[in-house]
A and B are shown apart, each in its own frame.
Chain A
Amino acid sequence: MHAHSRTLNFILIAAAVALAAFPLAGSTFYTQLITKIMIMAIFAMSLDLLVGYTGLVSFGHAAFFGLAGYALALMVPKYEAASLWWTLPAAMAVCAAFALVTGALVLRTRGIFFIMVTLAFAQMVFFVFHDTKLGGGSDGIYIYNKPHLKLGEATLLDLEKLDHFYYLVLALLVVAFLVLRRMLGSTFGHALVGIKVNEHRMRALGFPAFRYKLAAYVVSGALAGMAGYLAAVQFGFVNPEIISWHQSGAVLMMVILGGMGTLYGPMIGAFAFVLMQELFSNQAWFGAYAKHWQLAMGITIILVALYLPQGLAGLLQKVGRKKEAAAEPDHD
């Protein structure tokens, strides 16, 4: 186990280094693509905290993602760029507050009911932005000026610049991962896993299960908000589609595809999901069929459900374990 987690750390650090070096070699197109993937990785990781660790299958996670995007769009002044200093924390705070209020209600339910109530709240947010003029209706709002990060007069980060934005997203991805891992390694994290396995027992042991779940829900919502903020910055506009149930479904797919309850699994899932989309819609390779890329996507998802219950991360672990076993025949 110990050797295994050391190998894992090594791989994760190597991956981070590779990502840091990527913009030096990659074209603009691929740098933007990887940026998008890393944003989705943050989003998927935030959901893993609920699905994989706490056993709360949320089918409405796009609500936080979209809410933060709209929060940014509404905070950006019309003719100048907003400051990253306060708009990012503010957007995340909006999501945390929304998670606190809705979490207090949805956490009363469990199982399939939880899946459906989270969906219901996401749909409510969707319709607020879709049907009222608050966020420009179904057309959405453009974000003409991307935020910047200034210290005094010096501009530290200008998110109009691709590489600045890329490294900000990478840094936030690493920070989010480390914070979550730290959190999950603490008593709080073990209590969450305990709640997933047997909530009654945890309550009998004196853990305030409801408050723990609510805390996880709020942290997860705020992190999803961070991803939504970054996505809004990247696309330069927000519209209700980012809150649609398809978005909630897609991020759930990333978590399961990658392997839930591992944190790095959902990151792999985000990479695999977005890259598959790119691959199957590649006209040079699939010609006229590229238009029907969702067919290949759907078949892949079905095959994963049938044959890869632990997701891609489970597959990697299996390969890793086999190698370890081959290297040390006495290993138990």
Chain B
Amino acid sequence: MDFAFFLIQLLNGLQYGLLLFLVASGLTLIFGIMGIINLAHGSFYMVGAYLAWSLAGMTGSLSAAILLGVVLTVLLGVALEWLLIRHFYDRDHLYQVLLTYGLILVFEEMRSVIWGDDVHGVPVPALLAHSIPLTENLSYPVYRLVISGVCLLLALAMYFLIARTRLGMMIRAGSSNRDMVQSLGINIKLIYTLVFALGVALAAFAGMINAPLASVFPNMGGGVLIICFVVVVIGGIGSVKGAMAASLLIGLAETFGQVIEIEVAGFKVLPELSGMIVYVLMAAVLVWRPEGLFRKL
């Protein structure tokens, strides 16, 4: 493995990890603050990707599609929290699993009714459709670098929001004692609605910006959901810092797992079993630290 190849894999791994962070951070916030297990989180990623595809087709511009899409998905998040999720805060996790599993089916079929069952590609915006040459025959696409940059900016903004602002203080307080915050005169219901909508929009946004790279296809939310649950569990439930560390870990492990060759006793372990890596990692982390890597927030 020469240096240019290694660099490309490293950048790919980081980009994939940062993208996972956008989805996983919403999942971990919704669980950590509101106590809701949200299996439908992958569906929001899918909705985002399909919105990017259809709105970009209508408006002719991916950035316009993303702007519109974010507004729509925030509204979707608010509506969902208001109609369904808020009835489940005090219920056992099992019923949250039941509810959000039902939501997966509904979203998947609505997607089929509205957008059909075909696979679609979304073109990379012309402005960003370049590559940076690394060696004679290796180069790196600018769009991937832009995605990484945008994800990093969002992560920083989120850190600022949670750690430095008044709203973030209320969110943190709400996660440790809902009733106390309520009785101090803070509208905790509104905060929950906001957090949920934020999580939905983040997942959908990840789907939107990744659409030009990964194409848009039915059931695309399932894989993302499972990987993000792994991220959340490794990072420690409710911990945004943990989600960041675990996202990068998983992103790098999965990317390098597909290109490194390891043989044990004549049996090819990698890349043959690369799909297993993340789960082996998770099992190992949980045996070592049954509560994940980081504590809350």
Binding site for B on A (CB under 8 A): 51, 57, 59, 105, 108-113, 115-117, 119-121, 123-124, 126-128, 130-132, 245-246, 249, 252-253, 256-257, 260, 291-292, 294-295, 297-302, 304-306, 309
Residues of A within 8 A of B37 (CB): 112, 115
Cα–Cα distance between A164 and B88 once the two chains are bound (Å): 46
B226 touches A245 (CB 8 A): yes
CA distance A115 to B273 in the complex (A): 23
Distance from B273 Cβ to chain A, minimum over Cβ atoms (Å) = 6
**What is the minimal beta-carbon distance from A270 to any residue of chain B, in angstroms?**
15
Q: Is the CB of A301 within 8 A of B276?
A: no
Q: Count B interface residues, CB 8 Å.
A: 45
Question: CB-CB < 8 A to B189: which residues of A?
Answer: none
Let me know if B287 and A119 touch, CB within 8 A. no
- B residues bordering A, Cβ < 8 Å? 31, 37, 39, 84, 87-88, 91, 93-95, 97-99, 101-106, 108-110, 112-113, 222, 226, 229-230, 232-233, 237, 272-276, 279-280, 282-283, 286-287, 290-292
Q: Which residues from B are CB-within-8-Å of A246?
A: 222
The smallest C-beta distance from B5 to any residue of chain A, in angstroms, reads 23
Q: Chain B at the A interface: mostly helix, strand, loop or mixed?
A: helix
The answer for the CA separation of A301 and B237 in the assembled complex, in Å, is 26
CB distance from B225 to the nearest CB of A (A): 9
Chain B residues near A305 (CB-CB < 8 A):
88, 95, 98-99, 102
A-B contacts, 7 listed (Cβ < 8 Å):
A112-B237, A116-B232, A116-B282, A123-B226, A124-B279, A128-B273, A131-B274
CB neighbours (8 Å) of A253 from chain B are 98, 101
When chains A and B are docked, how far (Å) is the Cα of A31 from the Cα of B102? Answer: 29
- Looking at the assembled complex, report how far the CB atom of B261 sits from the nearest CB atom of chain A, in whole angstroms: 14
Which of chain B's residues have a CB closer than 8 A to the CB of A123? 226, 275-276, 279
* Contact between A127 and B273, CB atoms less than 8 A apart: yes
Whole-angstrom distance between the Cβ of A213 and the nearest chain B Cβ: 15
Q: Which residues of B contact A108 (CB under 8 A)?
A: 286-287, 290
| A302→B94 contact, CB < 8 A | no
CB–CB A292/B291 < 8 A: no
CB distance from B253 to the nearest CB of A (A): 14
Q: Which residues of B contact A130 (CB under 8 A)?
A: 275
B272 to A121, Cβ gap below 8 A? no
Q: In the complex, what's the smallest C-beta–C-beta distance from A56 to chain B, in angstroms? A: 12
A contact residues around B108 at 8 Å (CB): 294, 298
Q: How far is the CA of A119 from the CA of B91 in the complex (A)?
A: 22
CA distance A291 to B230 in the complex (A): 32
Q: Given the complex of chains A and B, what is the CA–CA distance between A129 and B114 in angstroms?
A: 35
Given A128-B273, A309-B95, do A292 and B103 touch, yes or no (CB 8 Å)? no
Q: With A256-B94, A295-B106, A301-B105 in contact, do A105 and B276 touch (Cβ < 8 Å)? A: no
Check B286 against A113 for contact (C-beta < 8 Å): yes
Closest A residue, CB atoms, query B99: A305
Complex alpha-carbon distance, A171 and B95, angstroms: 32
Interfacial chain B residues near A110, Cβ < 8 Å: 290
By a CB distance below 8 angstroms, the chain B residues around A309 are: 91, 95
